[in-house]
Amino acid sequence: MLRPKAQAIDLGGKPDLKSPDLYLHEEHHDAFRRLRAEEPVYWNPEADSTGFWAITRYDDIEAISKNPKLFSSAKENGGHRIFNENDIDGNDTDASMISMDPPEHASYRRMVTPGFVPKRILGMEERIRARVTRLLDNLPKTGEAEFVSSVAAVLPIEVLAELFGVPESDGPKLFEWSNATVGEDDPELRVSDEYMKKCVLEMAGYAAGLWRQRLENPGADLISMLAHSRVNGEAMTFPTYIGTFILLVVGGNETTRNSISGGLLALSENPEERRKLLDDPSLIPSAVQEIVRWVSPVLHMRRTATEDTEIRGQRIKRGDKVVMWYASGNRDEEKWADPFRFDVTRYTKSNVPTQLGFGAGQHFCLGSRLAELQLKVLFEELLRRFPDIHVSGPVRRMRSNFIYGLKEMPVAYTPGR
Nearest distance from residue 392's CB to ligand HEM, in Å?
24
A 10 A CB-CB count for 126 gives 10
**Site membership for ligand HEM, residue 256 (CB under 6 A):** yes
296 in Cβ contact with 326 (< 8 Å): yes
Q: Which stretch binds ligand HEM (CB under 6 A): 27-35, 133-141, 252-260, 399-407?
A: 252-260
144 in Cβ contact with 410 (< 8 Å): yes
**Site membership for ligand HEM, residue 255 (CB under 6 A):** yes
**Site membership for ligand HEM, residue 97 (CB under 6 A):** yes
Could you tell me which of 192, 226, 257 has the C-alpha nearest to residue 112? 226
146 has which bridge partners? 410
The residue (of 241 and 358) whose beta carbon lies closer to ligand HEM is: 358
Nearest distance from residue 297's CB to ligand HEM, in Å?
5
Could you tell me which of 34, 41, 105, 46 has the C-alpha nearest to residue 81? 46
Show the site string, 263-302: x = touches ligand HEM by CB under 6 A, - = not.
Answer: -----------------------------x----xx--x-
Residue 223 parent element (H or E): helix 222-227
The residue (of 68 and 413) whose beta carbon lies closer to ligand HEM is: 68
The residue (of 98 and 287) whose beta carbon lies closer to ligand HEM is: 98
**Site membership for ligand HEM, residue 366 (CB under 6 A):** yes
Dist CA 378 CA 156 (whole Å): 11
Residue of 154, 226, 227, 248 interacting with ligand HEM (CB under 6 A):
248
Q: Which residues 112-151 are close enough to bind ligand HEM by CB under 6 A?
A: none
Show the site string, 310-349: x = touches ligand HEM by CB under 6 A, - = not.
Answer: ----------------------------------------
| C-alpha dist (Å) from residue 397 to 21, 182, 189, 268 | 10, 14, 12, 17
Sign of CA dihedral 378, 339, 362, 206: negative
Dist CA 323 CA 245 (whole Å): 25
DSSP three-state, residue 226 = helix
**Site membership for ligand HEM, residue 370 (CB under 6 A):** yes
How do 41-44 and 52-55 pair as beta strands? antiparallel
The residue (of 206 and 415) whose beta carbon lies closer to ligand HEM is: 206
Nearest distance from residue 412's CB to ligand HEM, in Å?
25
Alpha helices in 138-218 (DSSP H): 147, 154-164, 171-182, 193-216
Q: Which stretch binds ligand HEM (CB under 6 A): 28-36, 130-138, 212-220, 353-361?
A: 353-361
**Site membership for ligand HEM, residue 304 (CB under 6 A):** no
The values of phi and psi at residue 324, to 5°, are -95, 115
Q: Which residues 13-72 are close enough to bind ligand HEM by CB under 6 A?
A: 65
**Site membership for ligand HEM, residue 365 (CB under 6 A):** yes
A 10 A CB-CB count for 280 gives 12
Nearest distance from residue 115's CB to ligand HEM, in Å?
8
**Site membership for ligand HEM, residue 80 (CB under 6 A):** yes
Listed in sequence order, the residues at least 6 apart from 240 whose beta carbon sits closer than 8 Å to its beta carbon are 95, 96, 108
The values of phi and psi at residue 352, to 5°, are -90, 135
91 in Cβ contact with 77 (< 8 Å): no
Dist CA 319 CA 303 (whole Å): 10
Q: Which stretch binds ligand HEM (CB under 6 A): 5-13, 23-31, 266-274, 362-370?
A: 362-370
Q: How many residues bind ligand HEM (CB under 6 A)?
A: 26
Nearest distance from residue 303's CB to ligand HEM, in Å?
8
Nearest distance from residue 82's CB to ligand HEM, in Å?
12
Binding site for ligand HEM (CB under 6 A): 65, 73, 80, 97-98, 109, 247-248, 251-252, 255-256, 259, 292, 297-298, 301, 357-359, 363, 365-367, 370-371
